[in-house]
């Protein structure tokens, strides 16, 4: 890993648990939290891909709101403005996974950045609220290029911002499609499985497969 000049982390699902919204979802819609959170996340990702393909970009805050509206409608849940605000606010305080802070601290002699589809209006408060801002050198967003990952133009933005080459980057994500996009682009890739997912069939295999971020410390 001596050739790696920067560790570039996906945010949602990799550093932060998107399903930490379940508690609040259950408060507002008893016993519907798990299902609501799953549909909400899946639709959020789907809308990023569709909007890139359609050439109809809106930022991740809006996509997340639209996905929440869809998820509630699909479950027959009535989402008034105040419930929508309560749940959208949860996205500003998602839980970071237990090992994240400590691993980022141990990587302090390296460049450590986030590269996320998240827009800065929701990423900045999330990273600050978690305290991870103390252990990161930059927060980069696909919103700057108005094209979501896994579009190559989004990963190109990382190279331009960091003034590095593809082979200098180790990209870390729990999202198989994101790993496939980053690998296809030419980054080194570490897929953080967090014990649950199957790699997508996109003809792109991760360079490393780790259970959680502690696995990064074993990569030499
Ligand atoms: C991110 C979402 C897509 O880019 O996981 O952080």
Distances (CA, A) of 112 to 66, 106, 124: 31, 11, 15
pLDDT digits (tens, 9 = 90+) for 66-98: 999 999 999 999 999 999 999 999 999 999 999
pLDDT at 1: 58
- Annotated active-site residue in 10, 96, 143, 178: 10
Q: Whose CA is nearest to atom 2 of ligand 1?
A: 12
Calculate mean pLDDT across residues 17-45. 98
Which atom of ligand 1 sits closest to the CA of residue 14?
A: 5
- Evaluate: CB of 117 within 6 angstroms of ligand 1: yes
- Evaluate: CB of 63 within 6 angstroms of ligand 1: no
SS3 call for 2:
coil
Q: How many helices (H) and strands (E) does the chain have?
A: 8, 8
Is residue 154 very low, low, confident or very high in pLDDT (cuts 50, 70, 90)?
Answer: very high
pLDDT at 219: 87
Q: Which residues pair with 115 in a beta bridge?
A: 140
220 pLDDT more than 70: no
The reported pTM is 0.96
> Is 10 considered catalytic here?
yes
């Amino acid at each position: 890993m001596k050739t790696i000049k920067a560790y570039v982390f996906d945010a949602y699902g990799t550093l932060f648990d998107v399903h930490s919204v379940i508690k609040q979802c259950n408060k507002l819609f008893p016993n519907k939290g798990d299902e609501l959170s799953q549909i909400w996340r899946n639709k959020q990702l789907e809308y990023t891909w569709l909007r890139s393909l359609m050439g109809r970009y809106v930022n991740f805050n809006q996509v997340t709101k639209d996905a929440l509206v869809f998820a509630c409608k699909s479950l027959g849940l009535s989402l008034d403005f105040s419930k929508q605000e309560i749940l959208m606010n949860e996205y500003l305080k998602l839980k970071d996974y237990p090992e994240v802070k400590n691993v980022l601290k141990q990587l302090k002699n390296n460049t450590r950045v986030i590269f996320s589809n998240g827009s800065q209006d929701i990423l900045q408060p999330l990273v600050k609220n978690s305290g991870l801002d103390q252990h990161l050198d930059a927060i980069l967003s696909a919103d700057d290029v108005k094209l979501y990952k896994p579009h190559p133009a989004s990963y190109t933005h990382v190279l331009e911002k960091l003034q590095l080459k593809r082979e200098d980057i180790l990209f870390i994500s729990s999202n198989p499609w994101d790993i496939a996009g980053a690998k296809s682009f030419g980054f080194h890739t570490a897929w953080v499985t967090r014990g649950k997912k199957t790699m997508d069939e996109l003809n792109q295999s991760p360079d490393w497969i780790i259970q959680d971020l502690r696995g990064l410390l074993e990569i030499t």
